[in-house]
Copies of this chain bind each other. A is one copy, B any other.
Amino acid sequence: MPQQRPNVVIVGAGFGGLPAAMTLGRAPVDVTIIDRQNYHCFQPLLYQVATAALSPAEVAWPIRHILRRQSNATVFMAEVTGVDAEAQTVHTGSGPFRYDFLVVASGATHSYFGHDEWATFAPGLKRIEDATRVRRSILAAFEQAELAGYDEARRRLLTFVIVGGGPTGVEMAGAIAEVARQTLARDFRRIDPRTARIVLLEAGPRLLPSFSERHSAYALRTLTAMGVEVKTGTPVVRCAARGVDLEHGRIDAGAIVWAAGVVASSAAQWLAAERDRAGRVIVRPDLSLAGHTNIFVIGDTASAIDETGRAVPGLAPAAKQMGDYVGRLIAARLAGGSLPPFRYRNQGTLATIGRRAAIVELGPIQLKGFVGWLFWSMVHIYFLIGLRNRFVVALTWLWGYITFQRGARLITDVPPPRFQ
């Protein structure tokens, strides 16, 4: 009878879970990856799907294809409903999974600060479906404006509001400005898409608060030059079907994009664990859960302080480092050893504003403008999974750069026709 190998169950195959699985590729364990989607999504490029530059399949790749050569890994598409830490079992909609080690890397979703009803009017950008929904709402607003009989309706429909001035909000504002001013410029007859009004609302005092003040100012300057109205210190009081209410006044809009806040997945509930204000599970220096040395929480689901005393940021590279660390830690433990506490290595932060404009902060390296944009493009292509995707995305970007066109301008998932 073959000896039973320890089973490591990993919940979520994002930037945290996938490296954890890969790091265990040669460890004497069975790895079970559970994700509710069949693909790993490259979230930093979702805004390009939302603005019709890339197709979903160019930023997402089947998990089981990525891991096909890792013979100790089994991938299941299932939705986790809870964890029984006593019985060492993960419960899913498709049955239970026993574990010896559990890695929870189930990510985050957008937060409407207690107003989930706003989701209907102001979709966020965390899943492929979110991105195609935002794409549909933006493109449909232009279509409806072309049909509108009154100037007032046209003006409303051609107003786009982006809520939240972090990297996603800045990227979306810049990309929508390019769609309106360049991609669609010649395609309409009754409206001039170049007259579209793009408003970026930020509750705090400046854009990109996680970047330096210098770069915040650069983002503001660049967006303003692209024709984006940036309003800082302007919290949104309410999102509705036809616009947003501010503390003073209202902006009527044809489409609203939510880029304001994230909240962790339900992991804290599953684990009955202590959580922080964003719903993240508070973990120990080795990323394990207090009282459970065989349960780890990583990525956007975790609230971690690294050994230098700094909070680990909610960024893709941080999730990847946490995944690597936990994989190595489990392997070390099984070999009778141990590892020092997790240490986050800052690999820099990036934000892109638009064509030829991006910001890179990487320790002593500080880039902006065209050089920053080239760096940003190369980094993102490098990290895309799958040789074909890298090549197709590079080609698509080059094409878009030369022609100003966007190849994925489809309004899909509309209700079926009412034939006969």
Contacts and interface: CB of A to CB of B under 8 A. Distances in A.
Interface stretch (A218-226, A234-242, A405-413): A405-413
Interface string A180-202: 00000011111000000000000
Interface stretch (A83-91, A204-212, A324-332, A387-395): A387-395
A39 to B, nearest CB: 5
Contact of A39 (B57, B395, B411, B418): B411
Interface string A25-50: 00000000000111100000000000
A335 interface: no
A343 interface: no
A412 B129 contact: yes
A265 interface: yes
A188 B269 CA distance: 31
A55 interface: yes
Copies in the complex: 2
Contacts of A58: 55
A64 B189 CA distance: 10
A107 to B, nearest CB: 9
A416 B79 CA distance: 11
A419 interface: yes
A168 to B, nearest CB: 18
A95 interface: yes
A312 interface: no
Given A68-B186, A395-B395, 14 more contacts: A38-B409, A55-B56, A65-B405, A73-B189, A75-B146, A76-B143, A77-B143, A79-B417, A109-B419, A128-B412, A263-B419, A265-B420, A266-B419, A266-B420
Closest 7 A/B residue pairs (Cβ): A57-B408, A55-B55, A77-B143, A74-B189, A64-B187, A62-B409, A38-B411
Interface of A: 36-39, 55-58, 60, 62, 64-65, 68-69, 73-79, 94-95, 109, 127-129, 132, 139-140, 143-144, 146-147, 149, 186-190, 263, 265-266, 269, 279, 386, 388-389, 391-392, 395-396, 399, 403, 405, 407-414, 416-420
